[in-house]
Structure 1
């Protein structure tokens, strides 16, 4: 009897070992499984210059655009061949992306149908580029949301995305300190590609030289860096791999990138990013962030002579400032253009400024002129709905790490929505593809938060609604 009791007792699993609660550390330490092409695409957004194109394709023939279109093609093929069932998965980001595509298609059809007036060959080519951008953006949203199935997958993809942003920041640092452009070396190492122009690596403002990193323009550099800043903070707090000091160094370089642009848009972006993120940070991290902010400002004042004075002058400018005057003076002209073509505008990508004074530094104004009332509604939904959905996810997430991640995603998305008032964001290639990737990540977060509503198994990650077991 004693031998039988001993054998029975030894056969029983230890309750504490078998039923140990799954922690955030377990989920984050698990191996990631995001598709390699998605990770490469995320890194390529910042590594390959958008001024280098395949000549036969034109402006849409950049490396990030081609890879993003391939993602959409792979997603579509996997659905057709029944390797993937997207119908079972629902998230607001896909709805926002689909509405954005439909808005561009409606204006595109109106342009080609002659309903918006006679179009030139240049205008038709611009519309083609925007249609390609629409499907590339949708590809990023769909693949990111539906292939990131766990916190570990999310962390793996963010490492690649933030590595690209780190490269971009290093380029900006070299540009700012040495006044040389390392992206010219990358351009020389791209056989088969042609320089298409359009990038502005340097631009003077006051006593400082604004830089663009590997992006098209300093404003884009500042806004995109601020969009990724909350996600970099989350990664520094929760990533179990690598050196913590290096994670914070990457985060600090994003802060420097915002400062190096000496941009009103970049400053506004940083304020929005921190304001949205703060409530969802862990208590200690929130306290340390608030305590660190004054020292960051002092460090920027010391490291960048003339930074505070130049930025103060920019922020305190009134309508006598040419940049602000241009924005204000454009309103009557925009109203006349809307009256002329109210529904579908002049066609996607077809607004052409005849000079610097006619540039529409406002994506919403640009959208209503180029795509009409139908287009502006679709663009507004595309830029606002994902941020609202991410905020909803943050408020309902149970896991502290997932709640903070959702808050970081919401912060980046709200930066995009707010700063699209201050520059024509979707006309800039790095922003135009970075934003849908963040929308896709917010979709994956939405699905993960929904998964928390079901009891967690002992697996390192919660069940995913599209996972084949």
Structure 2
């Protein structure tokens, strides 16, 4: 028996946290952004990266959790879940129709591979929407995303400044190059290096950095408001912003400008002023750190009318229309219009029309728009400033792929596509949480102010048909 010391109280026993859906989603985010995108798992008939294997595993976890009622995974209706199910059915219909016709063996293999990838994307939405049940666990996933984006941007910084490519030293056992066509990690533009970090291409890396930068800023503002350490998140934001610049990508700048417009409209005056001051200081640092970089960006937009890359993007419209007219409803098959055999379309809307027809293109746009609308709805519903700001940030981040799809073939890059679907699932998770708060306001308010009551409130039945309100351990 342990003797009790007078004047001392026994410390509360804290039970170890079990791995849950947020743990798995956070693991996916880290694997996606830490492991170079050019590496696939060896020994498989399909070229699948470690992150894609994890995404498919998340789908299996979600399906198993839906078969029981003791895991806390939500089961009720949600607009995000409905939208992604509709999109999955469209892709299945397109795949079934196009593969029932004749396809060359190479295109049939690519259609099979693309279908597997789409299962992974749908799994990401479902595990976020139904499995992440609390703000604390949702923040865990978002922090993992920002940490991974910071690492990718740090790799890009070394590529840009020192011409040192760390991805060459991340050849992990059991992995192999994902393609026989070697895509350079560093590409020249206007005597500058365009870098891609751990991603597959500088455009993908730039657009992904533009999506993660508002999220890093949100975490910084949130930590400051709560009186927590915010410096680390501002450092992450600075590194990600530098990575965006080092991609030397018009797409990244256009996407960030669109997201910034939404944020500036939704933020208060104090936050707007802080953002504008930080932006000015950042441009000054870039002027010193990378002479000529700002001038290159200016020339990219000032000389857009004569830029060869823009001319190349627009000259292929007749090709796309001609292919679309051959099968306007179902297209020619997902993933079947690929480089080295067909004309490249640097426009995801055109590529979707050709590969998946009108149905597939509308489904792609519908998923993103649903995520934006749901996020803005949560912003209107919530009275919690952190939830309102996060919902606004999610809506702004989802605008970036909607704009970027007009400037490059977004769905051909699994990295940014995966992050896009994670953000769509985040919107669905926020809606479920806000509905629960609206139905049990007194309980939610108590658990928000008293961490000791939080575990009890999360296990309280809600009676709303959404399953237990626990954090969705799977």
TM-score by length of 2: 0.86
User: Structure 2 residue aligned with 1:369, among 354, 359, 364?
Assistant: 354
Name the CA distance, whole Å, in 1 between partners of 2:386 and 2:306. Answer: 47
Aligned to 1:195: 177
Secondary structure of the structure 1 residue equivalent to 2:187? strand
User: Structure 2 residue aligned with 1:346, among 328, 332, 336?
Assistant: 332
Name the CA distance, whole Å, in 2 between partners of 1:50 and 1:298. Answer: 32
**CA pair 58-253 structure 1, distance change in 2 beyond 3 A:** farther
User: Structure 1 residue aligned with 2:213, among 226, 229, 236?
Assistant: 229
**CA pair 342-38 structure 1, distance change in 2 beyond 3 A:** same
Aligned to 1:107: 94
Aligned to 2:302: 316
Matches within 5 A, 1:266-277: 266-277=252-263
Aligned to 2:9: none
Name the CA distance, whole Å, in 1 between partners of 2:219 and 2:467. Answer: 26
Matches within 5 A, 1:11-50: 34-50=21-37
| Mapped contact 2:74–2:467 kept (Cα < 8 A) | no
| Mapped contact 2:72–2:467 kept (Cα < 8 A) | yes
Q: How far does the alpha carbon of each residue in 1:371-402 deviate from its partner, in whole angstroms, 9 at most, with x for none?
A: 11121111121232212221222233211110
Quick check: 169-178 or 99-108, which moved more?
99-108
Name the CA distance, whole Å, in 2 between partners of 1:263 and 1:129. Answer: 28
Q: Does 1:255 align with 2:241?
A: yes
Deviation at 1:208, TM superposition (A): 0.9
Aligned to 2:61: 74
| Mapped contact 2:23–2:141 kept (Cα < 8 A) | no
User: Structure 1 residue aligned with 2:264, among 255, 259, 278?
Assistant: 278
Q: Which runs of 5+ in 2 are unaligned?
A: 1-16, 449-453
Name the CA distance, whole Å, in 1 between partners of 2:379 and 2:348. Answer: 27
Aligned to 1:459: 447
Deviation at 1:283, TM superposition (A): 4.2
| Mapped contact 2:47–2:178 kept (Cα < 8 A) | no
Across the two proteins, how many residue pairs are aligned to each other? 434
Q: How far does the alpha carbon of each residue in 1:225-279 deviate from its partner, in whole angstroms, 9 at most, with x for none?
A: 1111111111111236974222101011111111111111010111122112223
Name the CA distance, whole Å, in 1 between partners of 2:133 and 2:261. Answer: 28
Q: How far does the alpha carbon of each residue in 1:155-183 deviate from its partner, in whole angstroms, 9 at most, with x for none?
A: 11122111111111110111111112101
Deviation at 1:137, TM superposition (A): 0.8
| Mapped contact 2:25–2:127 kept (Cα < 8 A) | yes
**CA pair 229-183 structure 1, distance change in 2 beyond 3 A:** same
Name the CA distance, whole Å, in 2 between partners of 1:326 and 1:284. Answer: 43
Deviation at 1:193, TM superposition (A): 1.4
Name the CA distance, whole Å, in 1 between partners of 2:73 and 2:126. Answer: 9
Name the CA distance, whole Å, in 2 between partners of 1:281 and 1:295. Answer: 20
Aligned to 2:13: none
Name the CA distance, whole Å, in 1 between partners of 2:175 and 2:125. Answer: 27
**CA pair 278-395 structure 1, distance change in 2 beyond 3 A:** farther
**CA pair 59-259 structure 1, distance change in 2 beyond 3 A:** farther
User: Structure 1 residue aligned with 2:105, among 113, 121, 126?
Assistant: 121
Name the CA distance, whole Å, in 2 between partners of 1:31 and 1:395. Answer: 33
Aligned to 1:381: 366
Name the CA distance, whole Å, in 1 between partners of 2:183 and 2:323. Answer: 28
Secondary structure of the structure 1 residue equivalent to 2:193? strand
| Mapped contact 2:72–2:468 kept (Cα < 8 A) | no
TM-score by length of 1: 0.87
Name the CA distance, whole Å, in 1 between partners of 2:19 and 2:390. Answer: 16
| Mapped contact 2:22–2:137 kept (Cα < 8 A) | no
| Mapped contact 1:183–1:214 kept (Cα < 8 A) | yes
CA RMSD after TM alignment: 2.3
Secondary structure of the structure 1 residue equivalent to 2:145? helix
Q: Which runs of 5+ in 1 are unaligned?
A: 1-29
Aligned to 2:401: 416
Name the CA distance, whole Å, in 2 between partners of 1:468 and 1:323. Answer: 50
User: Structure 2 residue aligned with 1:184, among 144, 147, 168?
Assistant: 168
**CA pair 319-59 structure 1, distance change in 2 beyond 3 A:** farther
Name the CA distance, whole Å, in 1 between partners of 2:227 and 2:185. Answer: 34
Deviation at 1:210, TM superposition (A): 0.6
Name the CA distance, whole Å, in 2 between partners of 1:75 and 1:410. Answer: 25
